[in-house]
Structures are given as C-alpha cells and as structure tokens.
Amino acid sequence: MKYVFLFCGTQEAQRAWEEMSEEARSAQYAQVGRWFAEHSAKIGPGNQLQPPHTATTVRFQNNGEPLVHDGPFMEGKEIVGGYTEVNVADLDEVLRMAKTWPARGTIEIRPVMGVDQ
C-alpha cells in the first residue's frame, strides 16, 4: 500500500529554520537523515522543497484561462516543505512511522490512488 507524506509547517517554523545557525541546521539534517536511513526499505521517491517564496502558481479561471501568479497556492500560515512516498502494509504502520518524524511540524498522510480504484 502506497502513501504520500506531505510535510507541512508554519511560516514561523520556516523562518526559524532559515535563521538557524549552520550547526543547529546540520544537527537537524542529521536527525532527519537517520530517520530516512532507518525507514529506507519503505521509502520511495520524495524531495525537500525550496521555500514558499520560490513558488509560482498556475490557476485556471472559470473561463478555462490559466492565470500565473507569484507565491504558493495555499493562503494562510501553513507551508508544504516536502513530500515523500511511503510503501507499507497499512495505515497503522504508516502512522507509527509518522509519529517518529524528528523535524516536528505537521504531516498529512494520503493514500495514493491505486490502479484498481
């Protein structure tokens, strides 16, 4: 069963991350790296994303015309920071994994649409 983790956080957390000392940041990277290493057998493709100010959004209007604008599509304080695919037996296993995520914030877990659905 395949799920996707959407790693989310707040703007404050993002700022704190950007203002973190090099040392603190690499310590956190190391923790996250360990987490990925521990679960490597279950982890599929994924990436950390560049900060939201680098985002560009294309939104289709009611008339079908695409409108391009600067910034992320979600308004408000939540930010998607990255994603990864996860391959496990069921929701319980994926929840156990998510609960050990070292970088805190919020994780949205979505089952991936299968071929038979």
Partner 1 sequence: MAGADATPTTPATLATHAALVAVFREEAGRLTSALLRMLGDFDVAEEIVQDALLVALERWPVEGIPERPGAWLLTVARHRALNQLSRDARYRAKLEQMGQMGQSILREPDDRLRLMFTCCHPALSRSAQVGLTLRAVCGFTTAEIAHAFLASEAAVAQRLVRARRKIVAANIPYRMPTGDELDERLGEVLAVLYLMFNEGYLSSSGVTPTRRDLAEDAAWLTVLVTRFLPGEPEPLGLLALMRLHLARAEARFTGAGELILLPKQDRSLWDRSMIAEGIALIEQAAALRRPGPYQVEAAIVACHAEAESWDTTDWRQIVVLYDLLLSMRPSPVVRLNRAVALRQVAGPEVALAEVNALSQELDHYHLFHAIRGELLLELSHREQARASALRALELTQNRAEQSLLARRLLEW
Q: Does 100 bind partner 1 (CB under 8 A)?
A: no
The site map against partner 1 for 43-82 (x = CB under 8 A) is ----------------------------------------
Q: How far is CA 12 from the centre of its chain?
A: 16
Strands 78-87 and 2-10: antiparallel
67 or 89: CB nearest partner 1: 89
Number of H helices, E strands in the chain: 3, 6
20 or 91: CB nearest partner 1: 91
Tell me the C-alpha distance between 81 and 74, whole Å: 12
Q: Which residues, at least 6 apart from 94, have a Cβ–Cβ distance to it below 8 Å?
A: 3, 86, 88, 109
Candidate residues 95, 102, 104, 108; the one interacting with partner 1 per rule CB under 8 A:
95
Enumerate binding residues for partner 1 (CB under 8 A).
1, 3, 89-92, 95-96, 109, 111, 117
